[in-house]
Amino acid sequence: MSGKNLPMTDALEAYLRTVSLREPGILRRLREATAELPEAHLQIAPEEGQFLQLLVRLLGAHRVLEIGTFTGYSALWMALALPEDGLLVTCDSSQEWTAIAREYWKEAGLAERIDLRLGPASESLAALLEEERGHYDLAFIDADKEGYDGYYEACLKLLRSGGLVVVDNTLWYGRPADPADQDADTVAIRQFNDKLHADERVDLSLLPLVDGVTLARKR
């Protein structure tokens, strides 16, 4: 073994899904419906959804927070793993995309277990910070990249000790590794990754899963 991460080919990705993916029918249908949208690329990959679901189960999570709902695919993976008295709070500014999410959550019988906060995520998080510090077991950040730092700081306050922040797209198409790339989103991700590397408040791992997934456990 070289100790290097395997390059992901289409054939290897197909194999990985064949031998590990257990996507329930309702999630497959939501993924296929979302694939019809021009913005379909915003959705996480199915193996990432299954990974999030496993994390919810491993943590025994009752309260989950998500920033970036889109059509509700990642939220549904996680909500399916919550106990009956569990709650997932998810934040998004799009009425149009979250209307699709609501349809599928209802069909899954999980409408009551998912609390959608519509509006700018910074405002939804500010409202949660008024009343719910230390209440959450897991937070998933998957929204505008320039907002990541603020969302991370809010999530750390909202999590209990031992809770987990999961951050999507931290390898951002590989661009942060190219110093010549000064695009605003790339710079935001690069600064965010540097900050987390030095952040003694968390235990850290950055997994090369899909577009990069960072796990930060609140100490």
Ligand X SMILES: C[S@@+](CC[C@H](N)C(=O)[O-])C[C@H]1O[C@@H](n2cnc3c(N)ncnc32)[C@H](O)[C@@H]1O
Q: Least distance in Å: CB of 30 to ligand X?
A: 9
Q: Closest CB to ligand X among 59 and 97?
A: 97
Contact between 52 and ligand X per CB under 6 A: no
Question: Using the rule CB under 6 A, is 143 a contact of ligand X?
Answer: yes
DSSP secondary structure string for all residues of 132-154: -TT-EEEEEE-S-GGGHHHHHHH
Q: Is 147 in the site for ligand X (CB under 6 A)?
A: yes
Q: Return all residues near 105 (Cβ < 8 A) that are at least 6 apart.
A: 72, 75, 76, 79, 111, 114
Q: How far is the C-alpha of 192 from the C-alpha of 174, rounded, in Å?
A: 14
214 binds ligand X, rule: CB under 6 A = no
Q: How many residues at the interface with ligand X, by CB under 6 A?
A: 20
Q: Are 216 and 202 in contact (CB under 8 A)?
A: yes
CB 121 to ligand X: min, Å: 4
Encode 139-157: b = buried (16+ Cβ within 10 Å), e = exposed.
bbbbbbbebbeebbebbbe
The yes or no reply on residue 42 touching ligand X (CB under 6 A) is: yes
Q: Is 144 among the residues that bind ligand X (CB under 6 A)?
A: yes
Provide, rounded to whole angstroms, the least separation between the CB of residue 157 and ligand X. 18
Task: Give the separation between CA 188 and CA 39, rounded to whole angstroms.
Answer: 21
- Part in contact with ligand X (CB under 6 A); list of ranges 137-145, 152-160, 170-178, 200-208: 137-145
Residue 29 half-sphere exposure toward CB, CA atoms < 13 A = 10
Q: Is-contact 170 193, C-beta < 8 A?
A: yes
Our CB check for ligand X shows the closer of 90 and 193 to be 90
**Shortest Å, Cβ 100 to ligand X:** 10
CB of 55 to ligand X, least distance (A): 14
Q: Tell me: does residue 40 bind ligand X (CB under 6 A).
A: no
Q: Which is nearer to ligand X, 146 or 199 (CB)?
A: 146
CB neighbourhood size of 135 (10 A):
16
Q: In 10 A of CB 14, how many CB atoms?
A: 10
Within 65-124, the residues that bind ligand X by CB under 6 A are 68-71, 73-74, 91-94, 97, 120-121
Report which secondary-structure segment, H or E, holds 84.
Answer: none
Residues near ligand X (CB under 6 A): 42-44, 68-71, 73-74, 91-94, 97, 120-121, 142-144, 147
